[in-house]
Structure 1
Amino acid sequence: MKDKENFSYLLEKLCPMFVLLDAAGRIASAGPTLQKLRPEMEMVGRSFLDVFELLRPRSVATMQVIARSGAKLHLRFRDNPRTALKGVIVPLPDDEGAVINLSFGISILDAVRDYALTSADFSGTDLAIELLYLVEAKSAAMEASRTLNLRLQGAMIAAEEQAYTDTLTGLKNRRAMDHILARLINGVTPFSLMHLDLDYFKSVNDTLGHAAGDHVLQQVARITVEETRGDDTVARIGGDEFILIFNHLQDKEKLESIARRLIDRLEEPILFNGETCQISASIGIVLSTQFTCPEAPKLIHAADLALYSAKRKGRATYRFYNRNLTLPVANAESPGSQQRSG
């Protein structure tokens, strides 16, 4: 009796997932870690094959035959969770039974998670502990790497956003507009383009100062965004000039309605520190389909011609581009540089 107790004690310390079988294949003793997997189950006295489903070897009737063959076992619990296990079986002398040393194999990570196992549940020499430490270290390193990548990605997105944003108004800038135009043209997407220029803006700067001018530009940005759709583009391309790009919109009546609303709203007085800022807007409009092979410079040039025509008609109005529009000869080579007395 004393020898059996010493034997079980040694097995518990060296093989905490052991199963000791008697000659009939019943469980005489089970290791503490194995018992922890089924704390409500009384394993002792039960047939080993009633607790575990033997996956390999398959065609063996009794545990005694398996023990004598010295086979390696692949098995799993018959009840849920049906954790997969591996085992090595060693027969006891005189066919008195066998000892099976079980392990989780590649399922160890799932087992540790499912059963809340700790290092105390494994033998001190079990390489599973080193594996768990390595996995934990790898997970920590991967999480640190993921966090760093997210921070770098966020910084990159912020830098790109800053590079494509007008800092005063929050609108797209000239660089962003160039990219959007190129994408629409390359994608053969029909669109229309408005070139909006503020009238009398220079007088606001001259009489009330640049702070008032900045406030006016911010209000103009707000109004243009409110009068456009979510997939349209509003860009400030410099000074008091704005480009509006309308995706898949070629209907002249709708474009006229948008232009009229913009002009009406921008004619309303804008207050700044108790002072009234009075501006208006002139708009030139071009459709991408007015050109057989539309190119960004051609479209902007055409919108600029239409804008200059609106300026000559008395400002606070809009004009569509047509092929008969021209700039004065002195400025014909560079319409974008035409001085407009804001």
Structure 2
Amino acid sequence: MSLITAPVSAQPAASAPAASASAPAADAPKLAIAPITISGADDPLLASQLEQDLRGGLARGSLQLLDSEAVAGVAGGPCSDDACLERLRDQLGAAFVLRAQVTVSDRDYTLRLELVATRDLGRAAESERGCELCGLAELRALTADQAARLLAKLDALAKPPPAFEVATTPPGALVFIDDQLVGAAPVERTVLEGKHVVRVMSEGYVPEERELVAVAGLRESLQIDLRRTPESLKLRGAGWGLLFSGIPLLAAGVALLAIDGYEYRGRCSGPDVDLEGRCRFVYNTDWGGGGLLAAGALLGTAGTMLLLRTRDRGKTKLRARLGPTYIGLSGAF
């Protein structure tokens, strides 16, 4: 039994499948086809022809095929160890390496293909097919067929994993994907291909659920507008009612406190004025103003607390303003 490996000429064999007219993108992942190993025969030309068949079949995919001579120079052999894979990754930028081995026994052939991802040196795909009592044409057809079967797997590996981007109005809702908490909206997570259930929840809002299908290479953006629960709407209505009921009382209390001690001009003439010119009648509104101010502050505080309790997360901006003749409350709830 003999074992040979052979690099491939840059010119494609006549029987190799034609490559697609559209070339892979410049930033597409790179694929290196390691020199083919043939055991049981001493035929360098066979290794060259089979690698050309592999290249012809794989050229229609979305990966960039690295030059065979460059690969052979870096690999220095069949690339059977991790050190070789790391050299192809580091020196040529190969994201994947395809290793092929042909075993010949009389006229029986066995073709084994192994696709390795250089990032983690793990097997991404592998296959083994046999051909009994075959000629060269049947073996080359088998090689082309196996290359075609790898195309779908390679294209899937070349694409980034699918991802969901979930945003809610208001923001901050808890996001669950397939009953697993992934974070607070807005949030982005990669998922496996297939159907997934996205559920969002926030206190005071009706939970919402969507079913999405994840496709490799696609990022699905999902915007969900949450609806308040009936209980939340009632509380917010009560909050606004208390707040607006307290504001007039606050204003009245401030006004009464402001005029407390001032002369009552309607009765400040003749006998109503003492020898020093001071009016005997003045406003005595401190108790009434203080009571109204306290009542208004109590109602306003209660209303504000209800609004804060049912606020939209991240939206609350509250400011109080106090002047010599007024009290102001501004903000977004």
More strand by share: 2
> TM-score of the superposition, structure 1-length normalised?
0.30
Q: TM-score, normalised by structure 2?
A: 0.30
